[in-house]
Chains A and B, each alone.
Chain A
Amino acid sequence: MTIEETAREIAARGECAPRLARDPVNQAMVNNWVEAIGDTNPVYTDPEFAAASVHKGLVAPPAMAQVWTMGGLNVPRGSDDPLGLMMELLDEAGFTSVVATNSEQTYHRYLRPGEQVEARTALESVVGPKRTALGEGWFVTTRVRWYVEGEAVAEMMFRVLKFRPPAPKPPAAPVLRPVISKDTEFFWDGLREGELRIQRWGETLRHPPGPMPPDGSLDAKPDYVVASGRGTVFSYVVHHHPPVPGKDLPFVVALVELEEGVRVMAELLDAAPDEVHIGLPVVAAFVRVDEDLTLPAWKVAR
Chain B
Amino acid sequence: MTVAEGTELPPLTIEATPTFVVSTALATRDFQDVHHDRDSAVARGSKDIFLNILTDTGLVQRFVSDWAGPEALIRSVKIRLGVPCYAYDTLTFTGRVVSADGHDVVVSVSGVDSLGEHVAGTVEVTLP
Contacts and interface: CB of A to CB of B under 8 A. Distances in A.
Interface of A: 29, 32-33, 35-43, 49, 53-55, 61-64, 66-67, 70-73, 96-107, 110, 134-135, 165-166
A179 to B, nearest CB: 38
Contacts of B71: 43, 53-55
A40 B61 CA distance: 12
A54 B32 contact: no
Contacts of B28: 33, 36, 64, 66-67, 70
Contact of A63 (B66, B73, B74): B74
Given A37-B27, A67-B28, A135 B81 contact: no
16 contacts: A36-B26, A37-B24, A37-B59, A41-B65, A43-B70, A54-B71, A55-B71, A62-B77, A63-B61, A71-B31, A102-B80, A102-B81, A103-B53, A103-B56, A103-B79, A107-B75
A107 B53 contact: no
A35 B29 CA distance: 14
Contacts of A104: 76-79
Contacts of A66: 28, 54, 57
Contacts of B32: 98
10 closest A-B pairs by beta carbon, nearest first, are A165-B45, A70-B29, A100-B53, A36-B27, A104-B78, A63-B61, A39-B62, A37-B58, A36-B23, A106-B76
B77 A54 contact: no
Which of A54, A63, A105 has most chain B Cβ within 10 Å? Answer: A63
B61 A39 contact: yes
Given A54-B128, A103-B79, A97 B45 contact: yes
Nearest to A101: B81
Contacts of B59: 37
B58 A49 contact: no
Given A36-B24, A63-B57, A100-B52, 10 more contacts: A29-B29, A36-B20, A39-B65, A41-B70, A54-B73, A63-B77, A66-B57, A70-B29, A103-B78, A104-B76
Nearest to B119: A103
Contacts of B65: 39, 41
A134 B45 contact: yes
Which of B44, B57, B80 has most chain A Cβ within 10 Å? Answer: B57
A37 B59 CA distance: 6
B48 to A, nearest CB: 14
A73 B58 CA distance: 21
A35 B27 contact: yes
B78 A105 contact: yes
Contacts of A67: 27-29, 54
A72 B32 CA distance: 10
Interface in B61-97: 61-62, 65-66, 70-71, 73-81, 84
Which of A100, A102, A166 has most chain B Cβ within 10 Å? Answer: A100
